[in-house]
């Protein structure tokens, strides 16, 4: 038995449907994470980010400036919430600043 669609889909609709799948949306958001980080913390702070790694929904950010590291440490929850908001999906459960 073969499956047929009764409604014709436009290519854009098909792609929108594809990118809304949770796994695909999470992978796209993960790929955009460096740009999202840069937009949230700004160019100057992003320049001090030596490593940005997502592992099991935990974002690890290695910061080379001790002053900036301390400032971002106190803003971990706000960073997490803003990353998830901009990503449109809950991709980060915690932010670890080191």
* 10-residue averages of pLDDT along the chain (98 residues): 65 68 69 90 94 92 95 96 90 93
What burial letters (b/e) apply to 22-33, b meaning 16+ CB within 10 Å? eeebbeebeeeb
Q: Structure pTM?
A: 0.73
In degrees, rounded to 5, the angle at the alpha carbon of residue 79 between the alpha carbons of residues 75 and 85 is 150
CB-CB neighbours of 37 under 10 Å: 21
Residue among 93, 47, 96, 48 nearest 75 (CA) = 96
What confidence score (pLDDT) does residue 23 get? 63
Radius of gyration of the chain (CA): 18
Quote the pLDDT of residue 1.
52
Other beta carbons less than 10 A from residue 53's beta carbon: 11
């Amino acid at each position: 038995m073969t499956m047929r669609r009764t409604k014709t889909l436009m290519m854009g609709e098909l792609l929108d449907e594809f990118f809304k799948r949770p796994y695909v949306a999470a992978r796209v958001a993960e790929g955009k994470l460096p740009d999202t980080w840069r937009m949230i913390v700004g160019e100057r702070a992003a320049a001090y980010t030596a490593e940005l790694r997502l592992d099991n929904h935990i974002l690890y950010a290695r910061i080379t400036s001790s002053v900036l590291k301390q400032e971002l440490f106190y803003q971990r929850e706000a960073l997490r919430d803003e990353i998830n908001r901009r990503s449109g999906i809950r991709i980060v459960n915690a932010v670890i600043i080191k």
